[in-house]
Structure 1
């Protein structure tokens, strides 16, 4: 393996016994380029051509208050596959906040657990006072990677191949963009929402295939809410107003942003036409819950069908053996939240909602073949969480047509990343391709990349590739085919030539 190390960044972080600053969550502060990667096991397939991007949280500076893993500085890890070979590189996301703290040599903002109470400067996010670390999701739209923040941030642009950075996306509005904008590969459009503590409390927008904001409309809500994700079908974008949000009285009287379940309030889903306005929204009520992530949506007859992860216990009690970290640990534990694969059916003809559980096991962070986004689909790939932790220790392939589910577990001490689906070159079937994931191996103090053939899912990894350092864990990942990148660049060149 050939490794080129980049100049070091400034860090003031001190050793700590915090559970999310150690082990698989030990921050990585090193940036490298690596080629000639060692294949530990198997052979890199020649029928995969594209890029896997993974966003992680890596705290650089001593926290001003209580640390939450989502506060960490965003770092994109990339592995690029072509012709049976792979290269790797990683970069911190140079947000405005990252650059300011590099100059200051220490933290300037508090995190999710303290925010305004300790921040030294005005901040970002729906409740203000936070550092926009762009450390939550990463997607690719119009040939550009976009890194986003847990609440509502600015959205930072990177070249998916080189990880060169070009600052804030030009189309992001004043209230920012939520953690999970969605890309419709069929139309090339990017769909997003944001939210705030000021009326109308939510907006919804559409960015076209050229990167231009073409639609932006209010979605009025009764008050401040905490939506995290959205989904879309062919004709509808589906937003949500869920009964888990800040206690308004505590915000007004004490400036505290305390999340609680508001008893007696149903979950509500807003179906808005792709380019529709507030007066065209169709609202549907459902059983109270919180949904961190949706999987897919599609239309069938009079129904819009939405799949996602229903939290049976969205506000769990603190872990009793975690001391001062008990509250933090429980809210990051998929088993405490009891997240289940769930289906909502919204009937446009009579306005009713029908719900069903698709699997009783605890799963989350699901991925699909993105060519089926917004369409009827058959296969889903979910992660299995380690009890008590925000760590993934396995995967489940769901066949939503037959109800069959195949689960594979990693060796104890090995933890996975969210695993997007990478279609095989020339694929015809929906599951003809690979799951791609980075692995943190706590037993050996290393990291690697694995590929799992989705058609032979139970066989486990077909290939294991060594990485140059042990990474920190994080949240989301993305796959982009190289053909998609080539087309986006050709389209951009054509537009420039026409404009010129």
Structure 2
């Protein structure tokens, strides 16, 4: 069957469909540190069949999970689809059965009421389980060693009561707990939210139910030592949009943004809501609190960053307004004001922020992100990058000095989201590596790059050739190999920055 000849399914966006196991990948430049022991897991939308509607947005594909295993100066690769209910039903039928992105009204009648999740947004390891995640459905439990799907609708032993689970849970490195939430938790387009605290052993210990000010894409959140923080941004949806055949979400520039702050041990009645004029912010770099003052760091743009979710008022996509810069949102729970103070942190333009994950919820000094440096030459086939934006640079932000350090990948490549890899034996923040995939557009291929996290401008420590093109992915994480089963989440001792 032929995929459509549209931007979402051609060029670097063309489906891959490769399930593979390849050992001892060739290192084409540099050297892999011999003491590096662990796995980099990542996931990409990779549709099994052409879309039922004839076309669809890029990230509605089936989740293809990749594992890069590092040990003794070598790296191997495994890649396999997550066997969701959707994947299984369509494979049995031999063609697509589920329709447009998050619109069940467009599905084949034979799958009415089935879970539509694709497990294509993030992969995390906690309590020895590899969880492939999509925010509209329960986690998919996979074996972290073989990538075999164990449970396509994992509900933590039946104790998860929501219909959905975030694609961006946070692991508190001090306690080993996983903090998570679900939105549209009682059904599509509902305002219902739930917050979960999950023990290091993988058991749900607490849940808090509440409502957000309006239904929207609640893609990410932040944690601090004392609070969890939810940002409500007007990428809104409704059943009326779905019935009209419109994209599930649209950007409503007439709505304000909100910031909800919930004490880690509090209930729904303890949430405090703050507000600011409309803007766009999706992913969260980190958050921390100083007493009752809460800081929340996000790449923020003045306008819509998602051209595939057009403005609700019909305004055309504005790439200038879509340029996001790292910004700190600050609120004080002692204040009578409901305003959010917004302070720019750096001039880098981009998205996909990361930190040294051992400092999640603490005051961090360093942050990393993908950036687009339009001052550099661009020579891409077709004039577009794999991600839509020209993410040609990795950037590091020093939040103490305001200084930035960057690595430009060259005129014919773009980059996928990085992940932080701690240097074995070190507990110092930022001492380690960044790992990411390079999209080599001119040759329609890929490489895996390893860089010194505090010296990006020096270029890759190692560049690893990959045997096939890696489809543009979304998120991934590093798991150290010395933990039991090479797959359990880990606790580490870190000191808060004051």
Q: TM-score, normalised by structure 2?
A: 0.86
SS in 1 for 2:168: coil
Aligned to 1:153: 137
Residue among 198, 204, 209 paired with 2:195: 204
- In structure 2, how many angstroms separate the alpha carbons of the residues matched to 1:354 and 1:381? 23
Distance 1:404 1:75, change over 3 A: same
Question: RMSD value over aligned CA atoms?
Answer: 2.9
Q: Indicate how the Cα distance of structure 1 residues 156 and 247 shifts in structure 2: closer, same or farther if over 3 A, else same.
A: closer
Q: How does 1:13-412 map to 2 (within 5 A)?
A: 14-65=2-53, 66-112=55-101, 115-122=104-111, 131-149=116-134, 151-167=135-151, 168-171=153-156, 172-196=160-184, 197=188, 201-246=192-237, 250=241, 254=244, 256=246, 259-314=249-304, 337-352=322-337, 353-385=340-372, 389-390=388-389, 392-412=391-411
The verdict on how the C-alpha distance between 1:122 and 1:202 changes in structure 2, with shifts beyond 3 A counting, is: farther
Structure 1 segments unaligned to the other structure (5+ residues): 1-11, 492-500
Q: 1:301 Cα shift?
A: 3.5
Equivalent residues in 2 for 1:439-450, closer than 5 Å? 439-450=438-449
Residue 459 in structure 1 maps to residue 447 in structure 2: no
Report the Cα distance in structure 2 between the residues aligned to 1:217 and 1:75, rounded to whole angstroms: 32
TM-score normalised by length of structure 1? 0.85
Instruction: Quote the Cα distance in structure 2 between the aligned partners of 1:337 and 1:238.
Output: 23
- Are the equivalent residues in 2 in contact too, given 1:240–1:270 (CA < 8 A)? yes
Structure 2: how far apart are the matches of 1:91 and 1:257?
Answer: 29
Give the drift of 1:205: 1.5
Is the Cα contact below 8 Å between 1:110 and 1:130 reproduced in 2? no
Q: 2: CA distance between counterparts of 1:250 and 1:469?
A: 39
Shift of 1:244: 3.0
CA 1:200–1:431 in 2, change beyond 3 Å: closer, same or farther?
Answer: closer
Instruction: Determine the structure 2 residue equivalent to 1:417.
Output: 416
Whole-angstrom CA distance in 2 between matches of 1:391 and 1:20: 16
8 Å contact kept, 1:207–1:215: yes
Give the drift of 1:286. Answer: 2.5
Q: When the two structures are aligned, how many residues end up with a matched partner? A: 465
Deviations 1:281-320 (A, max 9, x none): 121223322321001011123311110121211267789x
Distance 1:389 1:227 in 2: 22
Distance in 1 (CA, whole Å) between partners of 2:239 and 2:214 is 9
Distance 1:483 1:123, change over 3 A: farther
TM-aligned CA deviation for residue 416 of structure 1: 1.9
The CA deviation at 1:113 is 7.6
- The worse-fitting range, judged by mean Cα deviation, of 346-355 and 64-73 is 346-355
The match for 1:475 is 474
d(CA) in 2 for partners of 1:55, 1:33: 15
Distance across 2 between alignment mates of 1:154 and 1:443: 38
Q: Is the 8 A contact 1:284 1:351 kept in 2?
A: no
What are structure 2's unaligned runs of at least 5 residues?
373-383, 491-498
Kindly provide the CA deviation profile for residues 91-135 of structure 1, in whole angstroms up to 9, marking residues without a partner as x. 1111111011110000010122865234445568xxxx8831100
For residues 456 and 220 of structure 1, the distance between their equivalents in structure 2, rounded to whole angstroms, comes to: 44
CA distance in 2, matches of 1:152, 1:490: 24
Partner Cα separation in structure 2 for residue 433 and residue 186 of structure 1:
19
Measured against aligned partners, the alpha-carbon deviations of 1:34-76 in whole angstroms (never above 9, x if no partner) come to 1121111111112322111111111121111131111111101
Instruction: Decide which structure has greater helix share.
Output: 1
Question: What is the CA–CA distance in structure 2 between the aligned matches of 1:313 and 1:269, rounded to whole Å?
Answer: 18
> 1:350 aligns to what SS in structure 2?
coil
| Structure 1 position 222, deviation (Å) | 4.0
Any idea what the Cα deviations from partners look like across 1:329-350, whole Å, max 9, x if unmatched?
x87x976622221101111211
